[in-house]
A and B are shown apart, each in its own frame.
Chain A
């Protein structure tokens, strides 16, 4: 009888002690996120020559990145992003000077619809610095990306199409904010950032295609 009571008491002690042990290891250990994944939607405004080529704001863009924390405030990683700018002009009129014609020839006039677009697929190494406490609700950050971009552009009038493509250099400074709305061993944050895409991509009358890009995304870290 005494033995049975002793076993029951031991079992009770174990059941009582078990949550306390779990609480000890789960809530008091500090384990900051080491890896961050971001996927986001991008809106962009072309700048300079690219704006002349496709004047409007682009609502077609996506980004994915992976970052690894090297220290408490600094991460390195890789980013892929795609942006498309396009324009559809129903009527464009241009003066055409025929090549090889006699001096004094009157220029011709060509009018017609023009559809054109430019795609950029970029892959960059990215470095980010995070300001303030990593555990705070809002974490501002600054970053820069360096890498390559595949540019593909296309123009069409009636059934005549022309395309150009090439691989170019891209550099992307970035300012942003992470809003940690869910914090724990795995955290989730709203990612907001503004990037300046500078590329050496050149086609048609565009040289060094540039754009201002806004990202809205979700960052998951663990």
Chain B
């Protein structure tokens, strides 16, 4: 039995969100099944709209132009969704790393690394300003979000639950506002 969904959010230590003005949302959602990366799936249009509304609410401007090659997007931060399409309940969620355009980013060590459940979506915000990225992958992530049990089964059909969890993630992260 699954009882609703849970939302976890955490900012990087000492990060200054007022330095970020623009964002780029990756239109592709990474998909991992029991630790193995699968083909990405497009982020649903309602989910894109939801994220847009929330980012605008906090004062960000969207940069929609996709980066070319292995270049960084032309934005201060990049957002990507990661669907952990697990068939079992995992009890350690650390260890996720992936290529974020020009570099690796990981589920950061400063964030909660407890259990996660099936159908979890991670939402990572990384610093994509040129020359701003510290060598350690942890330092690239500025906002880590885990949306537990928002997607069921093998597809993205349950976008309502995903979208409401995204709204909750933003609501419980008022520090994202980029103006004083």
A positions within 8 Å CB-CB of B: 90, 93, 96, 98, 101-102, 104-113, 115, 156-160
A-B contact count (CB 8 A): 79
Number of B interface residues at 8 Å Cβ cutoff, please give it.
29
From B4, B8, B89, B148, A108 is in contact (CB under 8 Å) with: B8
Shortest distance between the CB of B63 and any CB in chain A (Å): 26
Interface class of chain A by DSSP:
strand
Q: Which 4 A-B pairs have the closest CB atoms?
A: A112-B6, A108-B10, A113-B4, A158-B149
User: What are 15 A-B pairs at a CB distance below 8 A?
Assistant: A96-B10, A96-B112, A102-B13, A106-B12, A106-B110, A108-B8, A109-B9, A111-B7, A111-B8, A112-B148, A113-B6, A156-B1, A158-B6, A160-B89, A160-B115
A102 B110 Cβ-Cβ under 8 A: yes
B10 A160 Cβ-Cβ under 8 A: no
* Interface membership of chain B positions 142-179, coded 1 if the CB is closer than 8 angstroms to chain A and 0 otherwise: 00100011000000000000000000100011000000
Bound complex: CA A112 to CA B114 (Å): 15
The answer to whether A98 and B113 touch (CB under 8 A), given A158-B3, A158-B148, A159-B2, is yes
- The residue in chain A whose Cβ has the minimal distance to the Cβ of B10 is A108
B3 A159 Cβ-Cβ under 8 A: yes
Bound complex: CA A65 to CA B102 (Å): 73
Residue B109 lies at the interface, judged by CB distance under 8 Å to chain A = yes
* Interface membership of chain B positions 81-111, coded 1 if the CB is closer than 8 angstroms to chain A and 0 otherwise: 0000000010000000000000000000111
Residue B50 lies at the interface, judged by CB distance under 8 Å to chain A = no
Bound complex: CA A110 to CA B112 (Å): 10
A160 B110 Cβ-Cβ under 8 A: no
Residue B74 lies at the interface, judged by CB distance under 8 Å to chain A = no
Bound complex: CA A156 to CA B8 (Å): 16
The interface centre, meaning the residue of A90, A93, A115, A159 with most chain B CB atoms within 10 A of its CB, is A159
Provide the residues of chain B in CB contact with A107, threshold 8 Å.
10
From A96, A111, A157, B168 is in contact (CB under 8 Å) with: A111
Bound complex: CA A104 to CA B12 (Å): 10
A109 B8 Cβ-Cβ under 8 A: yes
**With contacts A110-B6, A111-B6 known, what are 6 further pairs, Cβ within 8 A?**
A98-B113, A101-B109, A109-B9, A112-B5, A113-B4, A157-B4
Residue B59 lies at the interface, judged by CB distance under 8 Å to chain A = no
Bound complex: CA A164 to CA B49 (Å): 43
